[in-house]
Amino acid sequence: MNLLVFGQTGQVARELARIAPEAGFLGRAQVDLSRPDDCEDAIRARRPDAVINAAAYTAVDRAEDEEALATTVNGAAPAAMARACADLGIPLVQISTDYVFDGSGTAPWRPEDPTAPINAYGRSKLLGERGVRAADGAHAILRTSWVVSAHGGNFVKTMLRLGAGRDRLTVVEDQIGGPTPAADIAAACLTIAGQLHADPGKTGTCHFAGAPEVSRAGFAREICAQAGLSCTVEGIASSQYPTAATRPANSRLDCSTTQAVFGLARPDWRVGLTHILEELKA
């Protein structure tokens, strides 16, 4: 399959490059998502068999001050990709986020549940979802959460850095979700792209997140334990750790649709964490 990937240096894009090095990758030097028309032109020029959008504006806190830019990159650019893909009969896999929900309650969010983002990043990603659907082509909107890998900036690397120099860490205990290794997201995107190419009727929105659910503090404890760090992790309330962008308290995702439609089970993030730590050591 002739695959085109938007993104080159992000966590998922780097994992895609490992398992699908034959794909075409468009980084910012080739296509800047702040110019959505360029995204559409790139697809029309290359005419691949499928497109995965693994590029995004991901600076959640900074997006509160740069919402216009985040909206262009996360909203207008995917919509432009989707229009080109729909015109050419090409399936598009768009990576989205649990942040499109408001984080209320304790039940896992289903794909059909009402969206109500509580920060600028979530609003920008929701606009991207709407733009992809509006193009009316074959697509999969894959919502995921708490992405981690050995690359870039993420929760695992932050906890390792802080835990190595301190005896005690304070981490929020009231945000619950499923950490998701970027390697597993990349593999899922490839599977979904291939199945959509063969059967456009699988079009829709689905969820893919690591299991089991855990608090951010619980995740931090597992990171420290696997890394052999002796620091203690104390759970605190989100109100004790204010951030520019409010995070959802409930980021649980119901992934049963993904299992039923694409045959993809939820990955065990603890296994993924082991692999990430091994790579960082190497």
5-45 pLDDT per residue, tens: 999 999 999 999 999 999 999 999 999 999 999 999 999 99
Average pLDDT over residues 210-223: 98
DSSP labels, 169-199 = EEEESS-EE--EEHHHHHHHHHHHHHHHHH-
Q: What is the CATH number of the domain that holds 28?
A: 3.40.50.720
98 to 59, 108, 235, 281: CA distances (angstroms): 15, 10, 22, 30
| Total of domains in the chain | 1
Whether the CB-CB separation of 93 and 192 falls below 8 Å is answered with yes
Per residue in 72-91, pLDDT (tens digit) is 999 999 999 999 999 999 99
Amino acid 227: pLDDT: 97
Is residue 96 within 8 A of residue 57, CB to CB? The reply is: no
Q: Is 104 helix (H, G, I), strand (E, B) or coil?
A: coil
| Mean pLDDT of all residues belonging to the chain | 97
- The whole-number pLDDT of residue 136 equals 97
Q: Are 82 and 127 in contact (CB under 8 A)?
A: no
Give a yes or no: residue 168 inside a domain: no
Average pLDDT over residues 43-67: 97
Over 90: is that where the pLDDT of 238 sits? yes
Residue 272 counted as domain residue: no
Asked if residue 165 has pLDDT above 90, the reply is no
Distance CA 177, CA 276 (A): 19
Which residue has 């065990």 as its token pair?
A: 268
- Residue-range definition of the domain harbouring residue 201: 3-153+178-212+253-267
Hey, which residues are catalytic here?
A: 121
- Give the Cα separation of 28 and 116 in Å (integer): 30
The pLDDT, as a whole number, for residue 209 is 98
Residues 258, 195 contacting (CB under 8 angstroms): no
Dist CA 157 CA 148 (whole Å)? 8
Domain assignment of residue 281, yes or no: no
Region 144-167: mean pLDDT is: 95
Question: What pLDDT is recorded for position 146?
Answer: 98
